[in-house]
Amino acid sequence: MSIRFLWTILLTLGVAWFLTILPMPTWAIGYRPQWAALTIVFWVTAFPDRVGVFWAFFAGLMLDVVTGSLLGLHALSFSIMGYLTVELQHRIALFLAWQQALSVWLILTVERLVSLWVLSATNQPTPGLSYWNATIVSMLLWPWFAALLRALVRRLDVT
């Protein structure tokens, strides 16, 4: 793995973590895309031989630290999400953009279900229906988000 590749992944994850904690109006908080999850799904589908479950675990753990959530909550859910993405990446890569977006939505929904399970197992307050809005917004953003990161990979010649 080249240094440029490593720094590109860390930079994109850093931007995703920043976008996750960026202040938003109260009404828009429920619609915040799952930036870190989208970033991991992109890198796993683009480079499954280099980015996998370990990177997903690391990104989730850092998201726990950045957001101040229950330590291990996102690490576990991102690990499962990373595993599903690794297993399905050959199929996802063949899909059209809207089909990829639906596949990403399913993967992000599983990530949210695991997070919800951990929250309920630890007697945390259960979020309302707006908890699911982020998966829909992320699905709608996926084609443009993936195109932006693909352009970044081409521009930086990251291989």
DSSP, residue by residue, 60-105: HHHHHHHHT--TTHHHHHHHHHHHHHHHHHHHHHHS-HHHHHHHHH
Q: What pLDDT does residue 96 have?
A: 93
Sign of CA dihedral 17, 150, 43, 146: positive
φ, ψ for residue 32 (rounded to 5)? -65, 125
Name 124's Cβ contacts closer than 8 Å, sequence gap at least 6.
Answer: 70
pLDDT in tens, 81-105: 999 999 999 999 899 999 999 999 9
Residue 23: Cβ-neighbour burial (10 angstroms; 0-12, 13-18, 19+): exposed
Number of neighbouring beta carbons within 10 Å of residue 114: 18
pLDDT in tens, 5-56: 999 999 999 999 999 999 999 999 999 999 999 999 999 999 999 999 999 9
CATH no. of 3-156 = 1.10.1760
**In degrees, to the nearest 5, what angle opens at C-alpha 147 toward C-alphas 97 and 108?**
60
- Report the distance separating Cα 8 and Cα 71, nearest Å: 26
pTM: 0.94
